[in-house]
Chain A
Amino acid sequence: MSQVRVLVGSKKGAFVCTADGQRKDWKIEGPFFGGWEIYHAKGSPVDPNRIYVSQSSGWFGQIIQRSDDGGKTWNPPGSAPEDLVSAQGWPQGESNKFTYEGETGTHLWYDGTPHPWEFKRVWHLEPSLTDADVVYAGVEDAALFQSKDAGTTWSELSGLRQHTTGKDWQPGAGGMCLHTILIDPTAPNRIWVAISAAGCFRTDDGGLTWKPTNKGLVSSFMPNPEAEVGHCVHRIASHASKPNTLYMQKHWDVMRSDDSGDNWTKVSGNLPCDFGFPIDVHAHKPETIYVVPIKSDGEHFPPEGKLRVYRSKTGGNEWEALTNGLPQQDCYVNVLRDAMAVDSLDDCGIYFGTTGGQVYVSADGGDNWSAINEHFPSVLSVEVQTLR
């Protein structure tokens, strides 16, 4: 019997929600790490029992947690008693140590002056598609880290931050975060990342060198709206069967690329508004995509107080509103960039969480929705694991 496990990261802890393939009756466990901000939780596609969590706090900084039993128990990686103290007697405990490689350097601050890179938190954890011990971390201030020992230690893939444009990157309102990591399932050395507000970048050599992939993006808030970097990309997504086709929810504009990000075209089409944060792709239909329009960058809530997911079955441009089961009046929540996910059951399930604490599921590709829970803390991230 198939099962799904939904991993909810919230402003006050993590929750694990499980259901059978019907996705109607949910068991909710948590909060785990109560009181901490859980920016992201994601399971390994190689070993679904292995789940990585980014736990952070303005008081105590960053913690990485790992479960090896599907979320029943958790530990900071490398915190088994025999791992805690090195042979020299020094405490290890370095699973939360994210140190920039080489010269730290500067990027641009909000006022346009140089500002030193400072690690703040992990926004996104992306487990390897082929090795359960390998996991990538996208962090603020924007950089990409890799762990090859299941999160026990981390090293920066510094070619990204040391790109010639790095000194010109500037934070968006939410900070300068690397929030999206896409690994090409057909070419593991090819990875895309997205940074607010620097844009999209691709490596074809496992992270040694990077290329900005923002051609076609237009951001009117920039002095040069078509500049190579500086775009506030909110999310990118792709389908495993068509990894060279990418979809993007930008600050404004929904975009599409069919050449691995080298060129982008606008596919906002008939959306009521093309501002938003998440974007995702149906598990079995690579041209079926989902967004949640938000009124504007100044008003982070749905247009007309109606929470609507929009679906395009044509890879963009032609969109339909999905409303059945979602609040259609007086709804003023937001859906953040990492708070949408899809499962891979035959009838693809779509999930998203809101800043109002609701997590919704559709077990039929978006036609009908119901709430898994309506009273979580503000939701930062949603991921789902399909367990067969």
Chain B
Amino acid sequence: MSQIRVVLPFHLRNLAHVGNEITVSVADPVTVSSILDAIELAYPVLKGTIREHQTHKRRAFLRFFACAEDISLEPPTETLPEPISSGREPFLIIGAIAGG
């Protein structure tokens, strides 16, 4: 199991009652899907807030970043880079910026 660091958007931190960063245990291979599975297992209140309940479609205004790359449109089953799986870099879930 890999210990994956994840940074959540402000509102989801509040919802899950966690700080800036969480760590979840993820079995290899580490992918977006397996990280989200682990987040939802550890914090069920976040189910449906990052991806849709049934389709697992990413919510439109959220983006996924790994190693400074926007990987939101990559297949969610693709293996993530070593800095993420080793825990050197956090996996970022970011809310799209909107003004007003």
The reply to whether A99 and B54 form a contact with Cβ atoms under 8 Å apart is yes
Chain B residues closer than 8 Å to A94, beta-carbon distance: 47, 53
- Which chain A residue lies CB-closest to B95? A59
Q: Please tell me if B41 contacts chain A, counting CB pairs below 8 Å.
A: yes
Q: A97-B53, A99-B53 are in contact. Are A59 and B62 (CB under 8 A)?
A: yes
- Which chain B residue lies CB-closest to A34? B14
The number of chain B residues touching the other chain, given as a range, is 20 to 34
Q: Please tell me if B29 contacts chain A, counting CB pairs below 8 Å.
A: no
- B-contact bits for A93-119, CB 8 A (1 contact / 0 none): 110110100000000000000000000
A contact face: mostly helix, strand, loop, or mixed = loop
Q: Which segment, of A84-92, A176-184, A211-219, faces chain B?
A: A84-92
> Which residues of B11-47 are within 8 A (CB) of A?
11-12, 15, 40-47
- Report which of A36, A76, A93 forms a contact with B40, defined as CB distance below 8 A: A93
Give min CB distance, A79 to chain B, whole Å.
5
The reply to whether A96 and B44 form a contact with Cβ atoms under 8 Å apart is no
- Report which of A63, A79, A99 forms a contact with B49, defined as CB distance below 8 A: A63
The reply to whether A85 and B44 form a contact with Cβ atoms under 8 Å apart is yes
Q: Please tell me if B9 contacts chain A, counting CB pairs below 8 Å.
A: yes
Chain A residues closer than 8 Å to B98, beta-carbon distance: 58
Total cross-chain contacts (CB, 8 A):
64
The reply to whether B9 and A93 form a contact with Cβ atoms under 8 Å apart is no
Give min CB distance, B44 to chain A, whole Å.
3
Q: Please tell me if A60 contacts chain B, counting CB pairs below 8 Å.
A: yes
The reply to whether B48 and A62 form a contact with Cβ atoms under 8 Å apart is yes
The reply to whether B11 and A36 form a contact with Cβ atoms under 8 Å apart is yes
Chain B residues closer than 8 Å to A260, beta-carbon distance: none
The number of chain A residues touching the other chain, given as a range, is 20 to 34
Q: Please tell me if B59 contacts chain A, counting CB pairs below 8 Å.
A: yes
Q: A35-B11, A84-B44, A92-B44 are in contact. Are A61 and B54 (CB under 8 A)?
A: no
> Which residues of A63-84 are within 8 A (CB) of B?
63, 76, 79, 84
Chain B residues closer than 8 Å to A61, beta-carbon distance: 48-49, 52, 59
Q: Please tell me if A57 contacts chain B, counting CB pairs below 8 Å.
A: yes
- Which chain B residue lies CB-closest to A86? B44
The reply to whether B44 and A79 form a contact with Cβ atoms under 8 Å apart is yes
Chain B residues closer than 8 Å to A85, beta-carbon distance: 41, 44
Q: A57-B11, A59-B61 are in contact. Are A91 and B44 (CB under 8 A)?
A: yes
Give min CB distance, B57 to chain A, whole Å.
11
Q: Give the docked Cα–Cα distance between A36 and B95 (Å).
A: 13
- Which chain A residue lies CB-closest to B49? A60
Q: For B42, B45, B46, which residue has the most chain A Cβ atoms within 10 angstroms? A: B45
Task: Name 27 interchain pairs, CB-CB below 8 A, sorted by A.
Answer: A35-B10, A36-B11, A57-B11, A59-B9, A59-B59, A59-B62, A59-B95, A59-B96, A60-B9, A60-B12, A60-B49, A60-B50, A61-B49, A63-B15, A76-B15, A79-B45, A84-B45, A85-B44, A89-B41, A93-B40, A93-B44, A93-B45, A93-B46, A94-B47, A96-B49, A97-B48, A97-B53
By Cβ-Cβ distance, the 4 closest A-B pairs, closest first, are A93-B44, A91-B44, A93-B47, A60-B49
User: Which B residues have a C-beta under 8 Å from some C-beta of A?
Assistant: 9-12, 15, 40-50, 52-54, 59, 61-62, 95-96, 98
Known: A63-B15, A96-B47. 11 other contacts (CB 8 A): A35-B11, A57-B11, A58-B61, A60-B49, A61-B52, A63-B49, A76-B15, A84-B44, A91-B44, A93-B46, A94-B53
